[in-house]
Structure 1
Amino acid sequence: MDRRKVCVLMVLWAVAHLSFPGYGLRALRQDANGVPLRRSKRGWMWNQFFLLEEYTGTDMQYVGKLHSDGDRGDGSVRYVLTGEGAGTLFKIDEKSGDIHATKRLDREEKAYYILHAKAVNQFTNEALEGESEFIIKIHDINDNEPRFTKDPYMASVPEMSDVGTSVIQVTAIDADDATYGNSARVVYSILEGQPYFSVDPETGLIKTALPGMDREVKEHYQVVIQAKDMAGQMGGLSGTTTVSITLSDVNDNPPRFTKTLYEFRVPESNELGSSVGAIRAMDADIGPNAEMDYRIIGSDGPGMFDVTTNRSTQEGVILLRKPLDFEKKRQYSLRIQVENSHINPHFYSSGPFRDEATIKIVVEDVDEPPLFERASYIMEVKEDAARNTIVGSVSASDPDDKRSPVRYTIDRRTDMDRVFNIHAGNGSVFTLRDLDREESAWHNISVIATEFNNPRLMSRVPVYIRVLDVNDNAPTFATNYETFVCENAKANQRIQTVSATDPDEPLGGHRFTFSLAPEAAGKANFSVRDNKDNTAWILTRRSSYNSLQKSVYHVPVVISDGEYPMQSSTSTLTIRVCTCDREGNMKLCNPEALTARVGLSTGALVAILLCVIILLIIVVLFAALRRQRKKEPLIISKEDVRDNVVSYNDEGGGEEDTQAFDIGTLRNPEAIEDSKQRRDIIPETFYPPVRRPVLPPSRDNNGDVRDFINQRLQENDSDPTAPPYDSLATYAYEGNGSVAESLSSLESVTTEGDQDYNYLSEWGPRFKKLADMYGGDDSDRDS
């Protein structure tokens, strides 16, 4: 018989004895009186049933049997089963009470089932026994292999780690029952990864097993771990997992140059701060352990070069710090050292952890522009220097070996007035015109030097030319002095302090002297006292001045400087004579003196007076134009009446008024020029002037008026040159002295004698004609 069948028989036997204890041995007990105790027998008694999982038989698996003492075998008892899986997983024979499992059960899915059983009367359905609870436990078998919690595992360990360094712990879980047998007891073992790593069989902890594992030799490892149940015995189930182990880097390698000698070629025209070249050392480490620093430990050109580290590429970049000159030095040699930025003391102590290399830098020649000897030039020249005087010279040379000749010119943008010029060959700067220090004390020009062979190569240098002072200006009064003297002034009284100015600038400063002009010394009313401090006092030489006798004095003052050649000039001081009070305060002056006191010059007063006069003229013209515009015409008409209107608005004295119209003209019409033409109309040439007959004078008193009117009417009627433009004389008022007396009807009423109005009735139609010509209405005609 195999082991599995033996186990099944043992379980069945145990189930039978546990299910029906009444069939077992009974222990008799007695009470206190010695009477044997008897236990009443229950209908059935059980604790639990056991059932093997994963049953593989063809028939249903038998679980157990229920039986009641009330069952007499006549078929009157019916067994009922309820609870978990009743009717589906477990079936009971209602007559016999046998229980069977209908399916294969898995303990890992459900380890036990709780059911309830009772016996009832088949016919009355009454319960013969109380309901009882029992458990069906699924007995475990080793049907699950161990399973790891991860697959794969990822781990890392520093390179060069000691043997036994922990790497990672793996864990496998077995679903079988750990409380029964060895089905869930797991043992770990390593299948792949030896001899580098080992695993603890009980805990699954993986450790290093080989010393000196180098990441630079091998970085990644694949380790296979097995977990087997049944304590690793034969027949146990097993599972595997893969552990990927990476050796992490440590700084155990120094940087190393690939070459011991590097060579770079650089033009001498390279700018400062530019890169000359780059070098790189190799380091087998990675990350921060591969970071390195470069530095110069030796050079035959101190301070010429520098080296920095490019952190992104870990290169050493050589930079130019001073200008190169092919003609001075054509080659440089450097010693550069490289070292890790992060030092591992453990490995550093074992030996040098740095490297060195030699750098050779060759300077290449470049065609350079001329080079001036100085960065700037300062020259001096006196302001009285003649034209073409040499001020100074500049010098430039070709720094290249070929030594090309140099040509000099002046940048005319810095000398637009062409004050200076330069010799193209030797660089001598000379003047082109006269200088004046007072006009410009400094001249800043720029000189350009170019090569004859290559004019595009040029350089500039600033030249500052200072014009030296020459005593060529005479001193004068510092301001326009005008002062006054009181009539009651006393002798030797100071009335003014004067000072002088000079545009020249002597080295020792100005030293002015003041004196009275020799031509005025004999008859001087004032004296000049030099204070020896570039000022002088004007003093009176006598007492009491009279403004009526002389109101203005002119004092000539000679001012000299102390330079060579000495310059002097005569300045005139104007002194007004004024009336003052006892304290010397001015009370009254003539207009000129008053002008001087208020501080206005004669020219300023003349300008003010001219402005006032011009303003007055403008105001008068404006008033006249406004008055002319507002004057109403004597005759207002819609037509353009171009007449000569003579208006007498004021009553005059008749013939006695010499300003009035000459009545004699009316009395003597012969005096009128026969060929007189109208002044307001130019006659045409093809209309010859018409001579009109002169009417004889009338005999009556008013004949001269009638004759005059008649003559004018004939002239207008016979004039073909123009429309009827007449010359109308209006007599609005008649004076008492008129021989024609008054034509007014008002005055005729008051007259004692009769007035002859025949001439009015005679000439009425003609007046009507004149009124029609001028477009008058009926009232105008009547008047």
Structure 2
Amino acid sequence: MALGVLFYCVSLLVVSVECCVPKSIQAQVPVEIKPGYIISQVPVVQCQIKGRQVTSSDGHFAVQSDGTIVAVGDTTVTAQGKTFLLRGEDKSGRRWRMEVHLSPEPDQGRIQVPWRNRFAQTGVERAPSKILRRTKRRWSPLPFSIREEDVPPFPKDVELVGSDSSVNFTVFYEIRGQGVTMVPLNLFSVNRDSGMVRVHYRVDREQYPKFVFQAHVFDRRSGIETDLPLDITVLVEDINDNAPTFSGPLNFSVFEHCRDGTQIGEVMSTDRDQENTLHTKVRYSLLSGGEFFTIGPNNGQILAKSSSLDRETQVIHPVIVEIRDMDGAPKGLFNTATAMITLKDINDNPPTFRQTSYKTTVQENKADVLILRIPVDDKDEEKTPNWNAKFVINQGNENGNFRIDTDHKTNEGLLYVIKPLDYERAHAVKLMISAQNEAPLVDPKATWLSVPVDVNVVDVDEGPEFTTPNLVIRVKENTPNGTLLSTYTALDPETNSNKGIKYYTVSDPGSWISVGETTGELRVANTIDRESPLVTNGAYTIKVKAVDSSQKTGNGTVTLLIEDVNDNVPKIVPGTDMSLCEGDKGHMGSVVIKAEDSDLSPYSAPFHFTLPEGNDGKWRLTNIKNESAVLQQVVDMSRGVYQVPVRVTDLQDKGGVQVLNVRVCGCVAGECVAARSSSSVGIWGVLAMLLAFLLLLLLCLLFVFYCTTKADKIYLDDSSGGMLLKSNTEAPGEEVKSANLQMFSDTVDSSLKSPGLMGMMDQSKGVSSAPGQLFSQNSVTLRESMYQTKNRQDFYAAQNGASDFYANNTLMKQSQASSTLSALHTWKTNGLYLDKKVGYLVGVSEERYAGDTVRAYGYEGEGSPAGSVGCCSDFGDQDNLDFLDSLGSKFKTLANICTEKK
């Protein structure tokens, strides 16, 4: 019944604590109450009660932090029952009290339930007598809590843990995990018998906000766990042991003269204590700078308090800011820092002049000269648009004689004269100059300052000046020579007279105008032609100068605007030679005629094209436009050139007959074939001609090479197949002449020198043979007489004989030839080539056949296996020719040439 009243009261929560906490509760309990037995529960959460400050009048009972009323010692309940009081206070400090009435249960077999567990099945049932009844549960504890940085002595009790298995077994408890067997080690321990958890030293919540470890229960006899392990959570209750700290930048900026309430910046802070508590609720305040700034107590926003912030007075404002937790309570922890507030510049100060007026002088006729520097001061920030000055001439510069710039280094105004001043016109000029900034003034009512400047003009002696700098005269072209166009005179500005002034022409490209030296009269000197290249857009310019008695000069310009006259006739362009494609299948050919006239309208186009009277009727003009017409055939014409007269006149009917030379030709792709063939040779034609020339040159070189090579070849024997060629590849070792070759050469030479043969040659002077000719058929007889010896001994014996023998033998053989003259001429030619190709082996000397003299041979890298190849060794044993088989490859080739192959 008491528990039902408790839950009823909790469900009807009101503001009053007396209504939230019942004045008394009743509960039925066993007669024998063991430690850990749960009696009931106080609604500490719903009524905002400080559970750890609830006290019991009976030491056998205690109230945990969650409001659970639990037995902490053995006690007995008599039949009359047992009563004790619970006292405490709520969060606002109001005190309360509640009576707890215990009565013995009628059923003593009920099992004790020591703890409530949020992970176990729980239930509450109402008895008819409204006495609270509880169902069986396993583990009991909710999260425990300990106080951060708790003060000694240690250890201190935390809470009891209990298991339902203690009813059936004699158990003991152990805890493991964080704070016990894991870092931080040995912070918690448990009483093995009672299950009381203890804490052994102080804890920092900012380092360990909570601990989770496991509770185990074991049977004392068997050592076996009698229940499943349970996770125990121990929360560390926060204390205000950390002062708030600044976490953001403390440098802010704002424009000067900003409005009241302008947000400047926000001060940021952090607190390591538990969030959403008074320990972390920070209040902001300013310890200095309150006359210009304010700060939001809860959000830290700094605001401008006054619009009188002036950067020119103070640029940076240091402001001391305090942050204090516990919502600013005096006992709260705090920190201070200095925030720097910089005022940004605005253009609230115009430039000011250092003087109230300025004066300066300048000579007349001077230009592009600096005459004055005007300094200014500005309080705004330097080198910014609010400080950079620009100057404006408000008055006195109507003629554009002055210009004022800014010196960006000194911020001064630079006054220049850009157009010469004339003393005779004005002795002084008064200017009004204002100084401004690149940026506009913030205050729209403020104005820029101005200063007067007096410019005095200094008189100088100057040359004459023409009445007008540029005299414009209209004149028609072809105006007769000597015609007076105008008078161009000058005056001395000092005397305002033209006395003593003379005039001269400075520039007259066409010499069209003459200038009177003393009068300044402008007369036509030569024909004025508007179509001249000297005329630009119908204007012709002349430069004239005037010189006074002091030789000072003044310049003037005369511009002739030339009016056009009809002095040109239309001309057909680009010429009178034209080409026309002959007609095809009844279509007559045509050509476009274009004309042009140098005159302007109305003396030029549109032109009138006509065929003069008496034309042959073969042509007609069609499609006549402003400057063109189409000349078309009327009848078919053969190809050729035709002369066609055409009369062309301008708009004033001025013109004449022009004869066109029209070529009628066949066309391909609209192009006249004849014209195309007569055109210049293109690049491909030039390349083709060059290629043909190169081929011809190559062919000539081939013929020369062929003829030269053919002359160098001399066939010695039909059976041997060898020939003598030039050998320029090696030293004298390759050109060794054996005695055999020497005898052969001498034989030919002697044969040619014999009287009989020479006589026959004299008779055959009329017979000619080409140089380099090979042995002819007539020369075979001689070769056969030389090489058809029966054996080698006869051949060598013939070599040892006199040359006359060979000569006579040769003549006798030659007499048997059928063509004597041809053979003689061939022998002469072959003798010359043999002498050139073979040469003498020994050379010309007194002992012509002394073949055993010492000779130099080229070194070929190794000794010859055949020994010496001189004349002595060659003829030492004429019967034994076996040495030829032991000669090298080069000497075998020589032997094959000199000996007859069997």
The two structures have a TM-score, normalised by structure 2, of 0.40
| Higher RCO, Cα 8 Å, sep 6+ | 1
The two structures have a TM-score, normalised by structure 1, of 0.45
Larger radius of gyration: 1
